[in-house]
Every structure is written in C-alpha cells, then in structure tokens.
C-alpha cells in the first residue's frame, strides 16, 4: 500500500485521482484550501486524511508539508493544485498567483519532503502543453502578464525546476517527473478558462495513477510525460537546456525562501 499526498484534491483531476487511488487500496492524503470542499472530498474518499493550505501564500506550502508529515509516512507527492484564470492575480507576497501556486508552492512542498521521500519516493508535477519561455522578472513579481502567458510560463518554470532538481539530487533523491495530464480535460479550470466542457477527466486520472505507482515511471526522473501523445516527449526546448533550468531553479529557490528570511 502506497501513501500519496495530492495537492488540489478538492476538485477536478486531483479529486478524481484521490478517489481512484483510495479505491485501489492506497492511502491518499488530500490537500485543499477550502475547509468545506476538503471535508466533502475526504468524505468521498472514505474519510481520507486531509491538510489545509492556501498555496497562493508562500509561507503555507512548507506548513502543508509539515502537517502532512505529522500524519505519518509519505511515498509519493502529486503536485496537482493549479490555477489559470483568477480574479486575484496578485498575491499578498507580491507575486503573480499562477507562479505562486503552479511553480513556487510545489517546489517548497517538494523541498521540505525530499529527505523523507528518499530514493524510493516519487514527485509528480502537473505540467501542461501550455509552456512559454520564463521571464525570471515576471516570476519574481515584476510587471503584469495575461492569464495565458502567466499560466504557460508558470508551467514551463515548474517543468524546468523539476528537471534541474532531479539532476541535482541524482540517485539520492526521489524520482521527480513532469506530466502533462492531457489538454482540455473537463474540469473547472478548463470550463472557466475556455468555456468548454472538455474531454473525459479519466484521461488525466489514469496517467497520474500510472506516474505514481507503475514501473514505467520508476526511472522517469527529470523527464516530461506528454499525455497528449501518450508517451515521454520533448517539453519546450528551454526545459532541455541545463543552464536555463538551473537558473530557474535558483530563482525559484530564492522566492520560496523569501518568507523564511522575512
Ligand atoms: N484540465 C486540464 O485539461 C489540464 C491540462 C493540463 C494541466 N492541467 C493541470 O492539472 C492540475 C489540476 O487541474 P484541474 O484541471 O483539475 O483544475 P481544477 O478542477 O480547477 O482543480 C484545481 C485544484 O487546485 C486547487 N487550487 C487552486 N488554487 C489553489 C490555491 N491557491 N491553494 C490551494 N489549492 C488551490 C483547487 O482548489 P479549489 O477546489 O478550492 O478551487 C482545486 O482543488 C493543474 O495543475 C492544472 O494546471 C490541467
């Protein structure tokens, strides 16, 4: 039996993945930001354990990791929580909320859990087909981006730090992989952003379950799985550039550590 921490498990792909994992006999630790939605999702998953955190607030991501560790063992982390269009594009920390939730919070959670997970652990980061060259200034909170640009940059930044961190940790670290779960799957995010009902969510659920548990992902560290084509594929060229990936990882680290310095 495997224990999997899933962020953003109150809706969409995250919630359905939690349900599938629990139905298969595993333990899912559900994360959410909204207490009522979290309790309802936990109920749907047979009273699964929960942790609450608003991942647009930098200081909450490491606290989420601490709270999850207090529940016991964690084998796999699925950094699934994500945001595309939102009324609140700027966070209290002065960041674009897409970078805060989609890029920085997953790093802070992963970083806190790295030692605990060890070489047998896995980190699955939810990337996207939407990937655009990352402005480090924009990631640090300078200027204003459109919803689409902020989302695409935040997802490439996530993919890039995943590659760089996997290379940095090597055999000592958990398997860390980026996964595009499939485009336009029928979730709240897709309905709100594109006004379409979207494709069957199970396309995304199936690949996340495989990434979390199956042997085919055992040696996938640093790679990008593109579920639009059903196989590991090339991400945006910037994510294959080692120096650029390292630069993104350095910047992400600085931003994630800022509250600790304050
Ligand atoms: N759907 C697709 O076609 C698609 C394609 C590529 C990648 N993805 C990625 O897949 C992941 C799941 O997306 P989805 O489509 O399932 O979207 P969704 O239905 O909107 O679910 C997003 C989840 O993230 C949570 N979340 C958002 N902002 C948060 C915050 N500030 N703090 C904590 N939790 C927060 C949401 O919480 P609430 O329930 O409180 O809103 C929800 O649980 C995302 O990373 C997304 O970028 C999706």
pLDDT in tens, 106-137: 999 999 999 999 999 999 999 999 999 999 99
**pLDDT score of 232 more than 50:** yes
Provide mean pLDDT across the span 45-56: 96
Pick the atom of ligand 1 nearest to 189's CA.
20
Q: Give the separation between CA 173 and CA 220, rounded to whole angstroms.
A: 12
pLDDT given for residue 145 in this prediction:
96
Using alpha carbons, select from 111, 125, 180, 113 the residue that is nearest to residue 158.
Answer: 125
Q: Give the separation between CA 97 and CA 95, rounded to whole angstroms.
A: 6
Domain residues for 230?
A: 3-261
Q: Give the separation between CA 18 and CA 21, rounded to whole angstroms.
A: 5
Q: Determine which residue's CA is closest to atom 20 belonging to ligand 1.
A: 189
Q: Give the separation between CA 238 and CA 234, rounded to whole angstroms.
A: 10
Q: Give the separation between CA 60 and CA 39, rounded to whole angstroms.
A: 19
Pick the atom of ligand 1 nearest to 9's CA.
43
Separation of CA 171 and ligand 1 centre (Å)? 30
Number of domains within the chain: 1
**pLDDT score of 260 more than 80:** no
Provide mean pLDDT across the span 90-110: 97
Contact call for residues 77 and 113 (beta carbons, < 8 A)? yes
Residue 83 φ/ψ, nearest 5 degrees: -140, 140
Percentage of residues in the chain having pLDDT higher than 90: 97
**Using a 6 Å CB cutoff, which residues line ligand 1?**
8, 10-14, 32-34, 37, 54-56, 80-83, 101, 126, 128, 180-181, 183-185, 187-190
Confidence class for position 61, pLDDT limits 50, 70, 90: very high
Output the average pLDDT for the chain.
96
Provide mean pLDDT across the span 61-82: 97
Confidence class for position 261, pLDDT limits 50, 70, 90: very low
Using alpha carbons, select from 123, 120, 19 the residue that is nearest to residue 78.
Answer: 123
Confidence class for position 258, pLDDT limits 50, 70, 90: confident
Separation of CA 215 and ligand 1 centre (Å)? 26
Using alpha carbons, select from 82, 52, 80 the residue that is nearest to residue 207.
Answer: 80
pLDDT in tens, 197-226: 999 999 999 999 999 999 999 999 999 999
Most ligand 1 atoms within 8 A of CB, residue of 80, 82, 101 to mutate: 82
Q: 100: which DSSP letter?
A: I
CATH code of the domain containing 255 = 3.40.50.720
Q: Give the separation between CA 79 and CA 9, rounded to whole angstroms.
A: 10
């Amino acid at each position: 039996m495997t224990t999997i921490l899933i962020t953003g498990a109150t809706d969409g792909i995250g919630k359905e993945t939690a349900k599938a994992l629990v139905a298969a006999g595993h333990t899912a630790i559900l994360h959410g930001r909204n207490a009522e939605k979290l309790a309802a999702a936990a109920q749907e998953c047979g009273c699964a354990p929960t942790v609450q955190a608003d991942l647009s607030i930098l200081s909450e991501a490491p606290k989420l990791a601490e709270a999850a560790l207090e529940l016991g063992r964690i084998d796999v982390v699925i950094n699934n929580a994500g945001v595309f269009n939102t009324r609140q594009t700027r966070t209290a920390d002065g960041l674009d909320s897409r970078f805060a939730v989609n890029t920085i919070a997953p790093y802070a959670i992963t970083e806190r859990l790295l030692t605990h997970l060890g070489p047998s652990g896995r980190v699955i980061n939810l990337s996207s087909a939407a990937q655009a060259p990352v402005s480090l200034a924009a990631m640090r909170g300078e200027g204003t981006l459109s919803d689409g640009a902020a989302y695409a940059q935040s997802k490439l930044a996530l993919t890039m730090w995943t590659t760089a961190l996997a290379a940095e940790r090597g055999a000592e670290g958990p398997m860390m992989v980026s996964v595009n779960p499939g485009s336009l799957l029928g979730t709240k995010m897709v309905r709100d952003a594109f006004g379409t009902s979207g494709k069957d969510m199970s396309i995304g659920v199936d690949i996340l379950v495989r990434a979390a548990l199956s042997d085919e992902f055992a040696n996938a560290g640093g790679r990008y799985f593109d579920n639009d084509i059903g196989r590991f594929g090339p991400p945006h060229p910037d994510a294959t550039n080692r120096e650029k990936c390292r630069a993104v990882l350095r910047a992400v680290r600085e931003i994630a550590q800022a509250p600790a310095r304050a």
